[in-house]
Amino acid sequence: MEELEALLKKMPERRVLLQLPDGLKHKVEEFVELFRKYNKEVIVDVDPSYGACDVRINEMRAVGAEAIVHVGHAPMFDLPNVYYVEWRRPADVEKVRRALEELSSKGRVCLATAVNFRWMLEELEGMENVVVGGGSWRIPLRGVVLGCDTTACNVDADLNAFVGDGHFHPLAIEINTGRPTYRISPDGKVERVSYERFLRRRLALVGSVDGKRVGIIVSSKIGQNRNPLAQELAREARKRGYEVNLYVSDYMDPLYLLGLPDDFFVYTGCPRVPLDDWERYEKPLLTPEEFLYKLGLLKKYSIGWITALRRSGSGASRPG
């Protein structure tokens, strides 16, 4: 709470919208109490907070808030009256170091992590046979990856090591780099992750998609809005005889697509939606990269933001 308290001491705005990731919502009373300590009127946004790409500007305006405090993620955009507070998660650095030493005996290791553990990188990146890559405009922090942006792993290495929890980040790292990938838990446990089964399943889904009616969905979230890419996908699809409908949505749910006439959909927002939740959808839901692959415009399957951006030649959509 130290970083948040330091912010509250100096920020001039009084009425504030607070965005918390789901993993911190059980501490909401503690957060509200701290805001009140510094004479702030706080309104808590209960929508899921999907990352730095999901800043609730409309909700801020709806409740008359003067600012947003966005907890748990690093800044993606320089937005007025939006304050980001990273949330440092604990980890056993010495156990992680020993795990890295073991992996580095196999070859040159690309080390990456999520923003909550980036505090460890300064202590680890000087290790022999360990390399840390730079970031991109979406995540300009060295060694930090998103599930939609693994630019920090575009380095010369033999294998990858991701420090953190979950599968979404190491999944994207392994598929985008084509290198063996290991996940190191915060307490130093090492797991070789392999997503061959996932890849086979997604390629089978892409290959099985039939029909010539496609619905292309644009996300209205400020950091997920790729309307120029959606327009390019629509143009390329129409050239190949597809009938295209364009849709827009803030939050995605299978119920929203019921009754629509399309044979399948392409979601241009967060790739986690089609990749994690695909079984919930009645009709196939593809990522832009998967659709480009199906159209023959990408030769290699990939996950994330950067590949499709390069295809479109657009910064879609980088605010400000």
- The topology under which CATH files domain 93-194 is Rossmann fold (3.40.50)
pLDDT of residue 50: 86
Residues 169 and 96: their CA atoms lie apart, in Å, by 18
**How many CB atoms lie under 10 A from the CB of residue 282?**
10
Say if 93-194 and 198-312 have the same CATH topology.
yes
Per-residue pLDDT at 307: 53
pLDDT at 317: 46
Q: Which residues pair with 213 in a beta bridge?
A: 243
Q: What strands lie across the sheet with 285-286, from one edge to the other?
A: 243-249, 213-219, 264-267, 285-286
pLDDT of residue 65: 98
Q: What is the enclosing helix (H) or strand (E) of 162?
A: strand 159-163
Sheet with strand 159-163: strands edge to edge: 130-131, 109-113, 159-163, 181-184, 190-193
Average pLDDT along the chain, 320 residues, taken 10 residues at a time: 94 97 94 97 94 94 98 91 94 97 97 95 91 90 92 96 93 93 96 92 94 97 93 96 97 94 96 91 95 91 67 46
- The encoded tokens of residue 24 equal 């911190």
* pTM as predicted: 0.89
So where are the chain's domains? 2-85, 93-194, 198-312
Which CATH architecture fits 2-85? 3-Layer(aba) Sandwich (3.40)
Q: Which fold does the domain 198-312 belong to in CATH? A: Rossmann fold (3.40.50)
d(CA 227, CA 268): 8
